Amino acid sequence: MGGIYSNAWPATTTFMQTAPRKARNSSSPTRRKGAAVTIHEVAQRAGVSPMTVSRVVNGNANVRAATRELVMRTVRELNYTPNAAARSLAAASGTRIALIYTNPSSAYLSELLVGALDGASKAATQLVLDTWDHMTRATERAAARKIAQSVAGVILPPPLCESKAVCSELVAAGIPVVAIASGRFQPDISGVRIDDFRAAQEMTEHLISFGHSRIAFIKGHPNQTASGLRYEGYQAAMAAAGIPVDPTLVQQGFFTYRSGLEAAEKLLARKKPPTAIFASNDDMAAAAVSVAHRRGLDVPRDISVVGFDDTPTATTVWPELTTIRQPIAAMAASSIDLLLRSIRRRKDGEARVVVDHVVAHMLVKRDSVAAPNPG
Partner DNA sequence: TTGAATTTTGATAGCGCTATCACTACGCTC
Partner DNA sequence: GAGCGTAGTGATAGCGCTATCAAAATTCAA
- Omega prior to 20 cis, within 30 of 0: no
Q: Does 131 sit near a second copy (CB under 8 A)? A: yes
Give a three-class secondary structure readout of the chain.
Answer: CCCCCCCCCCCCCCCCCCCCCCCCCCCCCCCCCCCCCCHHHHHHHHCCCHHHHHHHHCCCCCCCHHHHHHHHHHHHHHCCCCCHHHHHHHHCCCCEEEEEECCCCCCCHHHHHHHHHHHHHHCCCEEEEEECCCCCHHHHHHHHHHHHHHCCEEEECCCHHHCHHHHHHHHHCCCCEEEECCCCCCCCCEEEEECHHHHHHHHHHHHHHCCCCCEEEEECCCCCHHHHHHHHHHHHHHHHCCCCCCHHHEEECCCCHHHHHHHHHHHHHCCCCCCEEEECCHHHHHHHHHHHHHCCCCCCCCCEEECCECCHHHHHCCCCCEEEECCHHHHHHHHHHHHHHHHHHHHCCCCCCCCEEEECCEEECCCCCCCCCCC
Q: How far is the CB of 77 from a second copy (least distance, A)?
A: 19
Distance of alpha carbon 95 from its chain centroid, rounded? Answer: 20
Question: Given candidates 25, 26, 62, 105, which one binds a second copy under the rule CB under 8 A?
Answer: 105
Q: Which does 241 bind (CB under 5 to 8 A by kind): a second copy, DNA, none?
A: none
Q: Does 373 sit near a second copy (CB under 8 A)? A: no
Q: Which does 57 bind (CB under 5 to 8 A by kind): a second copy, DNA, none?
A: DNA
Q: Which is nearer to a second copy, 204 or 280 (CB)?
A: 280
Question: Given candidates 46, 48, 123, 124, which one binds a second copy under the rule CB under 8 A?
Answer: 124
Q: Does 28 sit near a second copy (CB under 8 A)? A: no
Q: Which does 34 bind (CB under 5 to 8 A by kind): a second copy, DNA, none?
A: a second copy
Question: Given candidates 88, 182, 186, 224, which one binds a second copy under the rule CB under 8 A?
Answer: 88
Distance of alpha carbon 242 from its chain centroid, rounded? Answer: 34
Q: Which residues bind DNA (CB under 7 A)?
A: 17, 19, 21, 24, 35-36, 38-40, 47-55, 57-58, 60-64, 66-68, 80, 82-83, 86-87, 89-93
Question: Given candidates 34, 47, 211, 222, which one binds a second copy under the rule CB under 8 A?
Answer: 34
Q: Does 126 sit near a second copy (CB under 8 A)? A: yes
Question: Given candidates 114, 362, 364, 371, which one binds a second copy under the rule CB under 8 A?
Answer: 114
Q: Does 79 sit near a second copy (CB under 8 A)? A: no
Q: Does 283 sit near a second copy (CB under 8 A)? A: yes
Q: Does 8 sit near a second copy (CB under 8 A)? A: no
Q: Which does 204 bind (CB under 5 to 8 A by kind): DNA, a second copy, none?
A: none
Q: How far is the CB of 266 from a second copy (least distance, A)?
A: 16
Single out the residue of 336, 350, 6 nearest to residue 152, CA to CA.
336
Q: Which is nearer to DNA, 184 or 344 (CB)?
A: 344
Q: Which of residues 143-162 bind a second copy (CB under 8 A)?
A: 143, 146, 149-150, 152
Q: Which is nearer to a second copy, 82 or 233 (CB)?
A: 82
Q: Which does 44 bind (CB under 5 to 8 A by kind): DNA, a second copy, none?
A: none
Q: Of the listed pieces 189-197, 233-241, 289-297, 298-306, which binds a second copy according to CB under 8 A?
A: 289-297
